[in-house]
Structure 1
């Protein structure tokens, strides 16, 4: 007697419904992100020249409300350090190099 193999049904669609953003919502979100970046960037610019000498290509998170920043070699570790100190506050992640950006496009 042969055993019947269980058949798997294929999933159709996504688990979460797609978010439909209006152009106005997209523009508002982009403006908020840019404003947050403009608050974080001066803090990074202030410490970057000194840190680039000793911590090149490390990561830094900046929490603009307190002015705190955290540095580590590991991207995940530095984000976790920031979340521990400021659990509900947003932060911005930079890489300590000439541009402050990690990766290439």
Structure 2
């Protein structure tokens, strides 16, 4: 192989790993838990309205505004939310069913 045809293969992370303190980890966990609880509350409030007519559709929740976006296609629902809230990360995705779970493990 000539020098022009060689390539470097990177294994693992290119960037150095972030070293978080226990306090930072606890703060992040608390923020994520709060975000999930606020998103879940909105989902639980609107689910009864849509479960019969939009069963297994996707709903993306933006908990700061209380806005939510529904579509059969999860990518479309997410795109609608991103258009309305371009700087909000993260958004929370649910599936309109009994559990709200949008995927499988």
TM-score per shorter chain, which class?
0.7 to 0.9
Flag structure 1 segments of 5+ consecutive residues without an equivalent: none
Q: TM-score, normalised by structure 2?
A: 0.81
Residue 10 to residue 28, structure 1, CA distance change in 2 (3 Å): same
RMSD over aligned Cα, in angstroms? 1.9
Query: Paired residue for 1:103?
Result: 103
Structure 1 outlier segments of 4+, above 4 Å: none
Q: Which runs of 5+ in 2 are unaligned?
A: none
- TM-score (normalised: structure 1): 0.81
Counterpart CA distance in 1 for 2:53 and 2:26 is 39
Report Cα offsets for 1:46-81 as digits up to 9, x if no partner.
110121111111110111222211001111111110
Query: 2:86 maps to what in 1?
Result: 87
Q: Distance in 1 between matches of 2:29 and 2:99?
A: 21
**Partner secondary structure for residue 51 of structure 2:** helix
How many Å separate the matches in 1 of 2:70 and 2:88?
A: 17
Larger radius of gyration: 1
User: How many residue pairs are counted as aligned between the two chains?
Assistant: 102
